[in-house]
Structures are given as structure tokens and as C-alpha cells.
Amino acid sequence: MQDYLLITGVGLLAQLFFSLRMLHQWIKTEQAKRIISPSLFWVFSICGSYLLMLYGWLRADFAILLGQCISYYVYLWNLNASGIWPKVVLPLRALLLCTPPLAALSLLLGDGDIFATLFRNPDIPPALLAFGCFSQALFTVRFLYQWRYSAKHGVSVLPMGFWYISFVGASLITLYGLLRLDIVLILGQALGLVAYSRNIVIGLRAARK
């Protein structure tokens, strides 16, 4: 019971950071009447991602790990594009850069059966795991799209395509969370779906003007 509460607490804390990033971005966007990519959005993103990777490992849920490992370095890129990364103290930068590969290396060198831990979880049927991985992969594509778009324009932005992909991906992850009875995933996507919808509306209005 204590382990469950600890693991759930880590997941909820991660989702709190993700909710804060969306809330902050939403407020800034409403004020500007156009889609904004504030620097604090990326600070909250890296905090949430760090914790959610830990949560995914503790839950032995490869679908969660997959999504976070891919988007993690996109967050760091945006921190750099926003001018925040150079201001971070060197030890913290080293920790943030090295944690995912070091964690992966520790798994490979460990004595446990990694494949069985991540892919043969008795609580996740193969079909459901495949659906979860697809949902997370689609959800992660939004940040790959955002990174490519921002790199092309030389500035960190959140384009319309980002919000369309976010809405579809979040809907699928919510369904995955319901099927897994995972309160962390369900609560984490609730605010997101509203914020994604609102950004789409504001973006379309701004485009018409």
C-alpha cells in the first residue's frame, strides 16, 4: 500500500507540473489573444518529464517511458532556444543531460530481465500495451513537429499542428488510462484536452484576423 501511494504520488506530482505548464501557457495566450510559447512552459515540462519517466519505470509501463524519453530532449532544446539553458548551473545541466542515458545503461547492466519487466507486465495485455505505445508515440510526435517547426524558424513556438496532434494524442491516452484504471494518466489529460481545444480556437481566430 505504501509503495502504491509513493508511486502514485510521483505520478501526480509529474502531472501537476504538466498541468501548471498548460495553465501558464493558457493564461498567457488568453492575454495576448494569440498562441504564446512562454519560457516557463518548458521549465515545467522538463520537471514533469523527469518525474513521469520515474513513474513509468516504477509502474513498469513501457508506453509511458517511451513517450517521455523522446520528448525529454526536445524540452531541453526549447529551454536553450528560450535562453534559459545557458543560465542553468553546470552541475544541473550535466545531471539533466546525462540522467536518461545513465538510467538506460543501469538497466542494461542490471541483473534483472528488462524485457520481462517492461514488456511482460501481467497487468497490461499485449494489445493494450501496443495501443498505449501508439498513443504515447502519437502524443510525442507533437514535440518532434514543434521542434522541427521551431528550428526552421529559429525561435521556440507552438504552431497549430502541435495543438491538433496534442488533442488527438491526449484523447487516446485518456482512453488508455481508463482501460488501465490509471488515475495519473486520466487526471493528467483532463486539463490538457480543455487547453488544447482552447488554443485551437484562439489560433484559428488569430489566423482569420
pLDDT tens per residue across span 55-74? 877 776 666 776 677 789 99
> pTM for the full model?
0.81
| Residues 179-192: tens digit of each pLDDT | 888 887 788 787 78
Confidence band of 111 (pLDDT split at 50, 70, 90): low
pLDDT of 157 above 80: yes
Which residues form the domain of 118?
2-208
> How confident is the model over 81-96, as pLDDT tens digits?
989 999 999 999 999 9
C-alpha cell recorded at residue 197: 481545444
The answer to whether the beta carbons of residues 54 and 69 sit under 8 Å apart is no
Instruction: Give the Cα-Cα-Cα angle 192, 193, 196 (nearest 5 degrees).
Output: 80
| Banded model confidence at residue 38, pLDDT cuts 50, 70, 90 | very high
Residue 149: which pLDDT band, with cuts at 50, 70 and 90? very high
User: What is the total count of domains within the chain?
Assistant: 1
Distance CA 206, CA 47 (A): 31
